[in-house]
Amino acid sequence: MPDILPRRRLLAASAAALPALLAMAGCRSSEVFAGPDPLAGRPPLSPDVITLQAVIAAEQAMIALYQAAVHGDPRPAGRAGSLEGLLAQHRQHLGQLVARLILPAGEPSASFSPSTSPSAAPTTGPTAGPGRVTIARLRAAERASATNLVRRLVTVPPDLAQLFASIAASDATHAVALGG
Partner 1 sequence: MAVGSVTARAALQAALAAEDAAIFGYGVAGAHLSGARQSAAEQDWTGHNEARDTLTAMISGLGATPVAAQAFYQLPFAVGDAASAAALAAYLEDGVTRAYLGLVAVSDQRLRTFGALAMQSSAERAAFWRGRTQAFPGLQAS
Q: Rounded to the nearest whole angstrom, what is the least distance from the CB of residue 99 to partner 1 in the complex?
A: 11
Cβ proximity to partner 1: between 19 and 180 the closer is 180
165 binds partner 1 (CB under 8 A): yes
Cα(107)–Cα(101) distance, integer angstroms: 11
Q: Contact at 8 Å (CB) between 98 and 36? A: no
- Which residue, among 47, 180, 56, has the nearest Cα to 116 in the 3D structure? 56
158 binds partner 1 (CB under 8 A): yes
Q: Contact at 8 Å (CB) between 136 and 143? A: no
Cβ proximity to partner 1: between 89 and 127 the closer is 89
Q: What is the C-alpha end-to-end distance of the chain, expressed in Å?
A: 95
Cβ proximity to partner 1: between 41 and 78 the closer is 78
Cβ proximity to partner 1: between 34 and 154 the closer is 154
Q: Write out the residues near partner 1 by the rule CB under 8 A.
A: 85-86, 88-89, 92-93, 96, 146, 149-150, 153-155, 158-159, 161-170, 172-174, 176-177
